[in-house]
Chains A and B, each alone.
Chain A
């Protein structure tokens, strides 16, 4: 990824001839990331997005699964088919039981060199970023991090990956021209989850990794799951009630919590509020916080700065409460309420409580 601070370089316009050697690279791949026996949902979101890219290019969409030998790993391949993959590359080896940079980099690099995909997508997670950076360096190819939009450039069939730049106030589009594969990472919840179709199936291409545990320097001694199970799971919440600096005082955040409780949702916040210590870091929504796509997002006292917006505009419905009729949040919210959050929030809590009590009876 190029220096965001550097001025945009001469745009690569029009058609260009890909090196003969690189034309052999075909197909869109998605790395299927898993930890402790669970696939990270970002992989399915990427398959959804990869499907569109593959269809535009007229090529296959493939999942890539690296894991310990066994049924569970094979089931990841099935799930990849259900989420849109045509085929799955599978490497089964005991050294792949837990994620480690060295064997995974070797496995993925070998697969790419052997089967030559043109596009390789990974989640921008602790695992995906660790692996993507290593693999791109080994393959000597371009990697664009944290993309928010992926398209195929009609002029030259290359991947046009867009991501925020200049502290998030602008976006830039990045191309990887004469190198293959074109690699990109995408944060969880940036792309929509595709529908799961359990009737789908596909080919499995198995590949052997010739690595012995004794060859691997780094050992996983232990895995400590997050004991705190009440850790907020903002990215996957259906309802988020978020407050910003307009809530004025930390005590007023109770109004946000009350509404969230009535709706069975999570509490979110803008960055100034997190930095002031009113709520935990985990609850920050936005460019330097979490990307969320709930069914309902209620924003109280949040101006809607672009850095906040990029983290939540994928929400289905946004209700914004702000005293300032010109607040930018009204430019992209679904419903806008010009008013004082301190009085509107309790009223909303009350009305939702009553409405839902009725609706529950109907269920």
Chain B
């Protein structure tokens, strides 16, 4: 079985620190990490490999530094890593990204047919959850998003059964390979790499493909040119004109403060009082 996992290198927003005294946000030196959502997909792919045998190829499109993210995936147990990098990809939106990644996956499949593609549920920088569905459409793969559990995989029948998170419950879906899965977060826990895998990752050769090597012919469909959306401006959230009305009391007894604020609340928002009372009655 051959599984391709699409991963993306993103800035680690969790490490954006806040200064203890001034409370300002510090972005400087924020390291790049593998998009956390992708790790749930990678781990699921590795578990399938552990159970059914086969190979896991990790794929990313990004700048040359993204190699570090691929290497990290190799340390977890991926067999091969491919970096698609080309200046022509700059400025890609999700439509152009899925075009390039789909082409690369097709190319990977020329050597060894791909049975399953995994993507993360979404990225923490783009946050769109669009690239996965986009790739599936382009490769005409069955799409299984928000998967919480892979129930069953029958390689002989080329059938797979999964549980998919819906809004008010879980759908049990059955489909055929090849298909594209995005895993829901928290459904598994990434393994801690063994020393052997750390050595393998440090020595691994990451394959680097440019546009042609990735089999992308139509330049008009990648990068800025291939992106229907444009960012027209970036701005800070509007400050609210009115700041909070601060509750001041003669004494600073908690009870006085509570009486004052509840009093104001119920006189200035009379409907709220009625609403609360009705609900509790």
Residues of A whose CB lies within 8 Å of any CB of B are: 1-6, 8-12, 35-36, 38, 40, 98-102, 105, 125-127, 129-130, 132-134, 136-138, 140-146, 160, 164-167, 169-179, 217-226, 238-239, 263-264, 281, 295-296, 303, 305-306, 309-310, 313, 316-320, 328-339, 343-344, 346-348, 350-352, 355-356, 359-360, 362-363
Contacts and interface: CB of A to CB of B under 8 A. Distances in A.
Given A36-B169, A133-B132, A316 B269 contact: yes
A350 B255 contact: yes
Given A3-B92, A222-B172, A224-B172, A126 B145 contact: yes
For the residues of B in contact with A, the DSSP-based class is: mixed
Interface stretch (B76-84, B207-215, B232-240): B232-240
Contact of A137 (B16, B133, B167, B229): B133
Contacts of A145: 127-130
Nearest to A101: B143
Contacts of B273: 355, 359
Interface string B221-239: 0001001111111111101
Interface stretch (B52-60, B67-75, B93-101, B106-114): B93-101
A332 B239 CA distance: 8
Given A126-B165, A226-B168, A363 B127 contact: no
Given A173-B233, A317-B269, A352-B262, A219 B173 contact: yes
B234 A141 contact: no
Contacts of A330: 243-244, 246
B278 to A, nearest CB: 6
Contacts of A143: 94-95, 128, 130, 229
B237 A171 contact: yes
Interface in B148-200: 161, 163-176, 186
A263 B276 contact: yes
Contacts of A281: 186
B174 A362 contact: no
A230 to B, nearest CB: 14
Interface in B224-275: 224, 227-237, 239-240, 243-247, 252, 254-255, 257-259, 261-262, 264-266, 269, 272-275
A8 B234 contact: yes
A338 B254 CA distance: 11
Interface of B: 10-11, 13, 16, 18, 23, 25, 90-95, 98, 124-134, 136-138, 142-146, 161, 163-176, 186, 224, 227-237, 239-240, 243-247, 252, 254-255, 257-259, 261-262, 264-266, 269, 272-281
B166 A126 contact: yes
A296 B276 CA distance: 10
B254 A343 contact: yes
Given A5-B126, A223-B171, A348-B258, 20 more contacts: A2-B229, A4-B127, A5-B10, A5-B11, A8-B233, A12-B230, A35-B166, A101-B142, A126-B165, A129-B133, A133-B129, A133-B133, A167-B125, A170-B235, A218-B175, A226-B169, A264-B276, A296-B272, A335-B245, A348-B262
Contact of A337 (B137, B231, B257): B257
A222 B234 contact: no
A334 B245 contact: yes
A193 to B, nearest CB: 15
Nearest to B279: A264
A321 to B, nearest CB: 9
Which 6 residue pairs of A and B lie closest in terms of their CB atoms, listed nearest first? A133-B133, A142-B228, A336-B244, A359-B277, A347-B254, A347-B258
A220 B164 CA distance: 10
Contacts of A127: 166-167
B167 A40 contact: yes
A219 B175 contact: yes
A268 to B, nearest CB: 17
Contacts of B130: 1, 129, 132-133, 136-137, 143, 145
Contacts of A177: 228, 230
B91 A223 contact: no
